[in-house]
Amino acid sequence: MTTRALRAVFFDMDGLIIDTETPDFLAWRETLAEHGYTLEMEHWLSAVGTWGVLEAMYDTVGVPAELRQELRDKKRARYMAMVRADMRPLPGFASLLTDMRSRGVTVAVVSTASRDWVDLILGEMEIDDDFDFTLSRSDVERGKPEPDLYLLACERAAADPTSCLVLEDSAHGVLAANRAGVPVVAVPNGITQVQSFEHASARVDSLQAVDAALLARIGLALPSVCRPS
């Protein structure tokens, strides 16, 4: 296997940097239940991490068009309360981000969420200035699992896809990276851990496990830490 120097790391956001996936599912399940609808986990998993997750969920559950906006508004209020109750990053994220920045590796958030949502979460976590750039679904015509976001990320980083690394928590996100030709490590959360990650270069339980040894196994080498001049 040819080893390439790592040039850029692309982080998904929801469910990888912060656990927004669990409250998202719970908020929808509770809101739908109040109106007599049942949201099963398998229905949610079939679309999580994709551009059309909301419409797919509505269609699967059977919510009529005239009720969808009302439910969305109710769910959002409940969801935001849940998310704001715990804005801590998931284990391993902060130290990994610091380490990559110290090595001069380009770091970016690449999310299929809306621009408003990406900016809101990163801003409230006070890490919005810690990335070289961020991408959202507004930056491309096709979201995950299509490769467009990750191809654009490689272009922005001025790096060959094979010299980049994607960190993803969902099978659809992993597939998007794979289609873009970027090595990808699956880091599933409590919601996505039952998904199949057959397209991942590796799978770990936490960002704490993303280290030099893991990268070496998938053909990437960490640059040396940049020393102050």
For the entire predicted model, the pTM comes to 0.90
Please state, in angstroms and rounded to a whole number, the distance separating the CA atoms of residues 38 and 88.
Answer: 30
Residue 54 has pLDDT above 90, yes or no: no
Amino acid 228: pLDDT: 67
Q: Among 14-23, 71-80, 156-165, 184-193, name the most confident range.
A: 156-165
Confidence of residue 51 (pLDDT cuts 50, 70, 90): low
pLDDT at residue 150, as a whole number: 98
Mean pLDDT of 86-106: 97
Would you say the C-alpha torsion 122, 191, 51, 180 has a positive or negative sign? positive
Tell me: pLDDT of 229 over 60.
no
> How much is the average pLDDT of 31-45?
88
Residue 40 pLDDT > 90? no
Cβ atoms 154, 164 nearer than 8 A: yes
- pLDDT at position 45, please? 77
Higher pLDDT, 158 or 21: 158
Give the pLDDT score at 49: 62
Alpha-helical runs (H) found in the chain = 21-34, 41-45, 53-61, 65-84, 93-102, 115-124, 148-157, 171-179, 212-217
Least confident stretch, 52-56, 157-161, 163-167:
52-56
| Domains delineated in the chain | 4-18+89-221 (3.40.50.1000), 21-84 (1.10.150)
- Tens of pLDDT, residue by residue over 112-144, are 999 999 999 999 999 999 999 999 999 999 999
pLDDT band at 50 (very low <50, low <70, confident <90, very high): low
